Each structure stands twice: as structure tokens, then as C-alpha cells.
């Protein structure tokens, strides 16, 4: 021990007596100081780069959101044009076509609609133009439309058009239809993309802009740039600034359809002139309307100064810290620790502000925006998802989508297929599938899902954007059913009239022959058999005419009370041998409706018979209620049977559609009911649930027949008294 003390004493004495102690100590001190300063500087640079990268990733999410919204709007226009093709364009009635184009304009006016019409033989055959829309050269519609025969959506060339004081970018959508004709729709891209980008704000002053495959600005917050080439417009505005960085990003990446982030030098930002360094994130617009040679790219840009404010404070504070370290290394070390804590706190606050901004945008979206990790578990569940599915965020965080998939769908297989597609291509777009809400309601959703990568190109999960398209699907199905029933009705009417003539001849000659024979004779019995079957065929023809909404007699006034009483008296006898009870709640003195009492009774009979068939095995109860509401009389026929499965509900009014065995039904019952009710201006609706689709609800079906009230002479006189 004494020896160790002697060694340290000798070293101390050597240091004190060392001739070059001061120079060496100074060099060592400044070396340590320099190393410390360098380490602090390097740490600051790392933090700044990391913040820039995170900010750009947030901008990239915003760019994807803009691209997705633009694609959704184009997809809506595609649906509108397909709807036009199915409803009106194939119809030769010019007024009907014009009304259809006008209806489309009203639905899409706030999405950038300008004009829609039909091209035939190189000329515009019919069109409808939105109010205040001005197009310099309509010949571009003829020049741009595709010459192939494919009946798919095609996009024409992007063009700049002067409207009032500004420049607007227009583009035409085309879709070939029958007889060499082409549907077209002119869109105001500037308005369309402004709608998609108006709510996008990166940082405090950041904004989004869009270019096409030629580099032309389709949209920019600075309206003077719209319609100009991005490679030259900036230089013309400030020729003393080099825009090589942004030009390289646009030429080498954006115009090639790539997605990414970067940094460039600009000469202005939202009215502030001067050299500005900006962060940029960009992504292509993925849409089926864009052909391979058309590339639209969305960019979101913001000044780096907004992100680097905290980092700038580092450099200012370092100068003061360096002076303090010259006086004392201890004070320097202490200040470094304090400062790093302050910087860390400031950076956390800055990042927290950005996260709050992005979180606010995501949470307030009306569409469901969900983040899923690599284990297919939910990590982010926004307010739009709560509105669509009914589950709160705390109920879904950490869970999979299995609870959202209906029981009749293999959840494991479907979710695995979606995950494999996202892993393979990086995204899945416009995938439609059935889902179940928390309340047990079955809905149809439109899913777009995109893989999320780290800077090392590793997948950390995926982002899903989900829309509830249940109402849209039901509308499309109703349009389809209406067209199909109309076509079959016309056909049925034609067939019925053609059969009526020979039936009349058969019945006439049979009547003449019956006069030649006496009852009891074999010939007489044979002729009566012919007459009976001919009358049966005539009844079938009358049903077909009723389905076609054609009547050959005078309309009558239907007494609902009397008609329902007649049906009840007859049906009670039928149910005496079955385990089925029938009850009725019919309001007193129901108003009368227009129609044929026999046909109205036939409708009620058919609905009751369907209910009996649904309860044939287990028995149950049929409930008939009738009430007046405003200008309508509503008659409900309810049963406690097995119900109608969700998958066949859209088809139950289709002619010849039946779930019964061969020989037990023709599939015309409900379609005839539909035709009879519609013929007199009424409506027939239903509500049904099965134990398989809705385990928490009792099974059963309720059909509602609604007929418009009419005033008889007695009613009108009573109203005047």
C-alpha cells in the first residue's frame, strides 16, 4: 500500500514540475472541448435528420391520402358513367338521355363536373353542360377519345383552359358503348383536386400540388402556376435561383410514378419571397382511369425552417456553452447536460405538435383509417372506424379483424389473402367485402390497404382506408332490379296478348260445340275439360298482364277493411289443421285506396301463404296490421318463420326465383305481388332476419304493402261539411 502511495506521489510531483505543463494542459483541454463540441454537434445533426425524416413520412401519408381521395372521385365518375350506360344511353329517347346527363351533373357538380354527353361518328350527338362552364375548344373532345372497342374507362389528355380570370385544367373521361358511340365527361381537374387538397396542411404553411406526366401543374395553391410547365414556371418567376434539385426529383422520380421524399431549394413560400429550403413527399395517383403512359403525382411540401426551429436554437446556445467551457470544464459538462435535456424536451414538444396535427387529421376523417401491424393486429383506430363499425378504439386496439367478418365467410382465409396481396404488391385497392358491425348489422365496405415501410425498406405494418358503401350497393342493386323487371314485364305483356287471341277462339268454338251435346255424354265431358283448361290458361295470361302493369278493366275502389276480413275468414279455415295462429290489428274506418279488390286480396293471400310455408315445420304466428299514415294505408303481414337470408334478399322479387323444391312453387308469387302493387302506385317492402345472420334477434319476416289513399265522393262531401 505504501508503495502505491509513493507511485502516485511521484506522478503528481512530475506533473507539477513538468516544463510544458501549461501548453500540454491547454492542448488537452481544447482537445477535450473540441471533442465534446463535435459530439454535441453530431448529436444535433442526427436529431435534425431524424425529425426531417419523420416529418417527411407524415407528409407522405398526407400525399397518399390526397391520391386516394382523387382516385375515389375518379372512381365515383366511373360509377356515374356506368350508371348512364345502363340506364339511359342505350335508350333511343333523346329527352331521357338528356335528363340522365343532367341528373349526373347535379350529383357531381361539386366534384368538378363540367360537361357530359355522347360522341357518335366523330361528332357530339348530345351533351349537357354545367352552368358557368366555359370550354375554349370542344373539338378536343373528338380528338382525344380512344378508338378501341373496349368498354372500359379511358382518360383523355390534360388541357389548360382559360375560364374567367383564371386557368383551369380540364380532362375528358371516355367509355365506349354500343353502336360505335362513346360516353364522355369533362372534368374540372383544378376544382376536383382542390377539393381533395383543400384540407391538407403540412406543418403550419405546407401545401400540396399535382403535376401530370408532362410536368404541367394540374393543381397548385398559386393559381398563376396552373397549366404551366413546372420545369420552366419556377425559373421564369425567379431566374436567379437554381431549381436543379426539384427538377431532378420531378424528372427522375415523380414523372416515373415513384413514391418518396426529398429536399429542395425554392424561391418563395405562400407569399414570402426569398430562398427557402423545403421538405417534400410525393406519391403517384393510382387509378384505373389512368393508362400506363399517364402519370399524375401528388407532392406535399413545407419549409424546413418550420421543423428546424428547435434545431436552430442548438447552434445559438452552443456558442454560449463554448465560452462557459473555457472557464470551467465542470461548468461546461453541467451546461451540456442541462442543455441536452432542454433540447430533448423541445424536440419532444415539437414532435408532439406534429403528431397531434396528424392525429387530428386521421381521427376526424369520415372514412375509417386503421393501422395494422405485421401480426394483423389493430394499432390505430380512428373516429371514422368507430362510426362505421360501432366499436370504440379501446375495444379494437390489439385485436384482429376476425370479429368484423361475418360467420358465413372464412375469416382466416380472407384476411390471409388480403395480407398476402399487400405483402406482394405493397397495396390492395377497392376491395369490397361484407362486414358485421357491433350491433350485428351487415354492411359492405370498400377497402384500400397500403404497406408502410421504414427507411430500411422493412415493412412495419399497413394502413387501411375503409368506406361504407352499403347504401351505394343497395342503390345499384335496386336500379338493376328495376331494369330487369321492366324488361320482363314488357316481354310478359307481349306474350300475354299473343296468347289471348287463340284462347278466345278455343273458348268460342268450345261454347258452340257444347250446344250440340247434352250433359253426361262423353263428348260433353271432354269439351268441358277443354273449356276448364282454357279458362285456367286465360287466368295465367291475366296474371302475366298484371305483372306487366297492364290492366284491361276499370279500376275500382278497394275497401281495405272488407278485403282483409274476407281474407281472414278464408285463411282461418286453412289454418285449422296447422299449428299456426293468425291475429289482426286493423284500425277502424280505414280510408279507401285505388285498385282491384280481387287483386289486392291475391297480394295478401300470397304473403300469408309465404308466411305459412316459412312456419310449416315449427308452427308460429301470423300477424296482420293495417293503419293509415298521412296519404297512405299500410298493411303489414308478419310471421315468426325462419326468415330470409341476407344473400338472397336482393332477388326475392325476381320472376321465377324460388327457394322451394321443384313442383312446389313457380317463383312468380312475389313478382306478381310487386307488379300488382306498383300498377296502382303503391309500394311493397320487407324486413327479415334469420338466426344465422342475426343470432341475437328472433327470426321472422314482415312485408309491408303501402297504397295511396284516394277520396271518394262521400269523403269529399264529408270534408266540405
Residues 341-387 pLDDT 10s: 777 677 777 777 777 777 777 667 778 888 888 888 888 888 888 88
User: For residue 46, is it within any domain?
Assistant: no
Scan for cell 379494437, then name that residue.
396
124 and 255, same domain (yes or no): yes
130 and 275, same domain (yes or no): yes
Helices 21-84 + 189-197 axis angle, to 10: 130
Q: Give the chain's radius of gyration (CA, Å).
A: 38
pLDDT digits (tens, 9 = 90+) for 398-415: 888 888 888 888 888 888
- Measured between alpha carbons, how far is 602 from 571 in angstroms, rounded to an integer? 12
User: Alpha carbon of 188 to those of 46, 162, 173, 191, 579: distances in Å?
Assistant: 44, 12, 11, 5, 66
Scan for cell 306478381, then name that residue.
672
Other residues' Cβ atoms within 10 Å of the Cβ of residue 714: 9
* DSSP letter assigned to residue 218: E
User: For residue 569, is it within any domain?
Assistant: yes
Other residues' Cβ atoms within 10 Å of the Cβ of residue 554: 6
User: For residue 143, is it within any domain?
Assistant: yes
Q: Name the band, by pLDDT with cuts 50, 70 and 90, for residue 718.
A: very low
297 pLDDT higher than 90: yes
76 and 104, same domain (yes or no): yes
pLDDT of residue 701: 92
pLDDT of residue 12: 58
713 and 605, same domain (yes or no): yes
pLDDT digits (tens, 9 = 90+) for 580-611: 888 888 888 889 998 888 888 888 888 888 88
User: For residue 45, is it within any domain?
Assistant: no
Q: 173 or 586, which is more confident?
A: 586
CATH number at residue 378: 3.30.450.20
565 and 654, same domain (yes or no): yes
Choose among 186, 172, 195, 220: nearest CA to 111: 195
Are 543 and 508 in contact by the 8 Å Cβ rule? The answer is no
73 and 176, same domain (yes or no): yes
Q: Of 338-352, 433-447, 523-537, where does mean pLDDT reach its minimum?
A: 338-352
Scan for cell 313457380, then name that residue.
666
In this structure, what C-alpha cell is assigned to residue 704? 309491408
Q: Please name the helix (run of DSSP H) or strand (run of DSSP E) that holds residue 56, with its range, or none.
A: helix 21-84
- Measured between alpha carbons, how far is 283 from 376 in angstroms, rounded to an integer? 25
177 and 198, same domain (yes or no): yes
Q: 104 or 28, which is more confident?
A: 104
DSSP 71-97: HHHHHHHHHHHHHHIIIIITS--HHHH
320 and 334, same domain (yes or no): yes
Q: Which domain holds residue 529?
A: 474-547
In this structure, what C-alpha cell is assigned to residue 379? 394499432
Choose among 295, 311, 450, 453: nearest CA to 369: 450
Kind of pairing between the strands at 166-176 and 593-595? unpaired
119 and 219, same domain (yes or no): yes
What φ, ψ does residue 656 adopt, rounded to 5°? 70, 10
Indicate the SS3 state at residue 259. Answer: coil
Which of 296-300, 415-419, 475-479, 603-607 has the largest mean confidence? 296-300
User: For residue 12, is it within any domain?
Assistant: no
In this structure, what C-alpha cell is assigned to residue 360? 387530428
550 pLDDT higher than 50: no
User: For residue 250, is it within any domain?
Assistant: yes
Distance in Å from the first CA to the final CA of the chain: 129
139 Cβ neighbours under 8 A, 6+ residues apart: none
CATH number at residue 489: 1.10.287.130
Burial of 216 (0-12, 13-18, 19+ CB in 10 A): buried
User: For residue 48, is it within any domain?
Assistant: no
Scan for cell 410514378, then name that residue.
257
What's the predicted TM-score (pTM) here?
Answer: 0.41
Are 667 and 658 in contact by the 8 Å Cβ rule? The answer is yes
Helices vs strands, H then E, count in the chain = 19, 23
Are 637 and 604 in contact by the 8 Å Cβ rule? The answer is yes
Helices 329-363 + 21-84 axis angle, to 10: 0
- Measured between alpha carbons, how far is 350 from 361 in angstroms, rounded to an integer? 17
- Measured between alpha carbons, how far is 255 from 278 in angstroms, rounded to an integer? 19
- Measured between alpha carbons, how far is 391 from 383 in angstroms, rounded to an integer? 10
683 Cβ neighbours under 8 A, 6+ residues apart: 677, 705, 706
Total structural domains in the chain?
5
Please report the sign of the dihedral spanned by the C-alpha atoms of residue 594, residue 595, residue 596, residue 599.
Answer: negative
- The per-residue pLDDT of the chain, averaged, comes to 78
In this structure, what C-alpha cell is assigned to residue 443? 354492411
Q: Please name the helix (run of DSSP H) or strand (run of DSSP E) that holds residue 535, with its range, or none.
A: helix 522-547
337 pLDDT higher than 70: no
User: For residue 2, is it within any domain?
Assistant: no
Choose among 196, 198, 154, 190: nearest CA to 170: 190
Scan for cell 341475437, then name that residue.
696
104 and 204, same domain (yes or no): yes
Are 134 and 113 in contact by the 8 Å Cβ rule? The answer is no
Of 439, 468, 497, the one marking the end of a domain is: 468
Choose among 370, 427, 371, 437: nearest CA to 403: 437
pLDDT digits (tens, 9 = 90+) for 58-112: 889 988 988 888 888 888 888 888 887 766 555 567 777 788 888 888 888 888 8
259 and 317, same domain (yes or no): no
Are 173 and 185 in contact by the 8 Å Cβ rule? The answer is yes
Choose among 658, 472, 520: nearest CA to 79: 472
What φ, ψ does residue 648 adopt, rounded to 5°? -110, 0
Of 468, 486, 512, the one marking the end of a domain is: 468
207 and 346, same domain (yes or no): no
Kind of pairing between the strands at 580-586 and 217-219? unpaired
Amino acid at each position: 500500500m505504501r508503495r502505491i502511495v509513493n507511485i502516485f506521489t511521484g506522478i503528481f510531483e512530475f506533473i507539477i514540475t513538468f516544463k510544458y505543463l501549461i501548453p500540454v494542459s491547454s492542448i488537452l483541454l481544447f482537445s477535450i472541448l473540441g471533442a465534446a463540441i463535435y459530439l454535441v454537434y453530431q448529436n444535433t445533426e442526427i436529431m435534425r435528420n431524424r425529425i426531417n425524416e419523420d416529418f417527411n413520412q407524415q407528409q407522405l401519408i398526407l400525399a397518399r391520402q390526397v391520391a386516394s381521395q382523387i382516385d375515389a372521385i375518379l372512381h365515383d365518375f366511373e360509377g356515374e358513367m356506368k350508371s348512364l350506360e345502363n340506364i339511359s344511353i342505350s335508350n333511343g329517347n333523346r329527352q331521357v338521355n338528356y335528363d340522365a346527363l343532367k341528373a349526373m351533373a347535379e350529383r357531381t357538380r361539386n366534384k368538378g363536373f363540367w360537361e357530359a354527353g355522347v360522341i357518335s361518328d366523330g361528332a357530339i350527338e348530345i351533351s349537357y353542360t354545367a352552368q358557368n362552364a366555359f370550354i375554349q375548344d370542344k373539338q378536343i373532345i373528338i380528338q382525344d377519345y380512344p378508338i378501341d372497342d373496349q368498354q372500359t374507362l379511358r382518360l383523355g389528355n390534360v388541357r389548360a383552359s382559360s375560364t374567367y380570370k383564371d386557368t383551369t385544367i380540364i380532362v375528358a373521361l371516355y367509355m365506349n358503348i354500343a353502336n360505335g358511340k362513346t360516353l364522355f365527361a369533362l372534368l374540372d381537374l383544378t376544382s376536383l383536386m382542390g377539393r381533395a387538397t383543400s384540407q391538407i396542411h403540412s406543418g403550419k404553411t405546407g401545401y400540396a400540388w399535382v403535376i401530370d406526366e408532362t410536368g404541367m401543374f394540374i393543381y397548385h395553391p398559386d393559381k398563376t402556376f396552373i397549366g404551366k410547365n413546372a420545369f420552366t414556371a419556377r425559373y421564369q418567376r425567379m431566374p436567379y435561383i437554381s431549381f436543379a434539385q426539384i427538377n431532378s426529383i420531378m424528372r427522375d422520380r415523380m414523372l416515373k410514378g415513384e413514391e418518396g421524399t426529398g429536399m429542395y431549394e425554392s424561391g418563395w413560400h405562400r407569399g414570402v419571397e426569398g430562398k427557402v429550403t423545403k421538405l417534400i413527399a410525393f406519391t403517384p395517383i393510382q387509378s384505373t382511369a389512368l393508362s400506363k403512359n399517364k402519370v399524375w403525382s401528388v407532392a406535399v411540401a413545407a419549409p424546413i425552417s418550420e421543423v428546424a426551429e428547435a434545431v436552430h436554437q442548438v447552434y445559438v446556445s452552443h456558442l454560449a456553452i463554448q465560452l462557459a467551457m473555457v472557464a470551467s470544464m465542470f461548468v461546461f459538462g453541467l451546461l451540456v447536460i442541462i442543455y441536452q435535456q432542454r433540447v430533448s424536451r423541445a424536440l419532444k414538444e415539437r414532435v408532439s405538435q406534429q403528431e397531434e396535427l396528424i392525429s387530428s387529421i386521421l381521427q376526424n376523417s369520415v372514412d375509417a383509417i386503421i393501422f395494422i401491424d405485421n401480426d394483423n393486429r389493430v394499432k390505430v383506430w380512428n373516429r371514422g372506424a368507430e362510426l362505421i363499425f360501432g366499436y370504440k378504439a379501446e375495444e379494437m386496439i390489439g385485436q384482429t379483424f376476425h370479429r368484423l367478418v361475418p360467420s358465413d365467410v372464412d375469416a382466416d382465409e380472407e384476411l390471409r389473402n388480403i395480407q398476402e396481396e399487400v405483402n406482394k404488391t405493397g397495396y390492395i385497392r377497392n376491395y369490397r367485402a361484407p362486414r358485421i358491425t357491433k350491433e350485428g348489422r351487415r354492411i359492405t365496405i370498400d377497402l384500400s390497404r397500403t404497406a408502410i415501410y421504414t427507411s430500411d425498406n422493412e415493412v412495419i405494418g399497413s394502413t387501411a382506408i375503409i368506406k361504407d358503401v352499403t347504401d351505394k350497393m343497395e342503390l345499384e342493386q335496386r336500379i338493376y332490379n328495376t331494369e330487369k323487371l321492366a324488361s320482363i314485364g314488357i316481354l310478359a305483356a307481349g306474350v300475354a296478348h299473343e296468347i289471348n287471341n287463340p284462347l278466345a277462339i278455343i273458348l268460342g268454338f268450345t261454347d258452340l260445340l257444347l250446344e250440340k251435346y247434352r250433359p253426361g255424354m262423353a263428348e260433353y265431358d271432354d269439351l268441358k275439360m277443354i273449356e276448364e283448361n282454357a279458362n285456367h290458361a286465360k287466368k295465367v295470361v291475366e296474371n302475366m298482364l298484371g305483372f306487366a302493369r297492364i290492366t284491361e278493366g276499370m279500376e275500382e275502389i278497394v275497401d281495405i277493411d272488407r278485403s282483409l276480413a274476407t281474407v281472414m275468414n278464408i285463411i282461418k279455415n286453412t289454418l285449422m289443421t296447422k299449428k299456426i295462429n293468425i291475429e289482426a290489428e286493423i284500425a277502424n274506418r280505414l280510408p279507401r285506396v285505388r285498385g282491384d279488390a280481387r287483386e289486392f286480396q291475391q297480394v295478401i293471400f300470397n304473403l300469408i301463404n309465404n308466411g305459412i310455408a316459412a312456419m310449416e315445420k315449427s308452427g308460429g304466428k301470423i300477424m296482420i296490421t293495417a293503419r293509415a299514415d298521412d296519404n297512405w294505408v299500410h298493411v303489414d303481414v308478419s310471421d315468426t318463420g325462419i326468415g330470409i337470408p341476407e344473400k338472397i334478399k336482393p332477388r326475392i322479387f325476381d320472376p321465377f326465383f324460388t327457394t322451394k323444391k321443384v313442383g312446389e312453387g313457380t317463383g312468380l308469387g312475389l313478382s306478381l305481388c310487386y307488379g300488382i302493387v306498383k300498377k296502382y302506385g303503391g309500394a311493397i317492402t320487407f324486413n327479415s332476419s334469420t338466426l344465422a345472420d342475426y343470432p341475437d334477434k328472433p327470426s321472422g319476416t314482415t312485408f309491408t304493402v303501402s297504397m295511396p289513399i284516394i277520396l271518394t265522393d262521400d269523403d269529399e262531401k264529408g270534408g266540405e261539411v
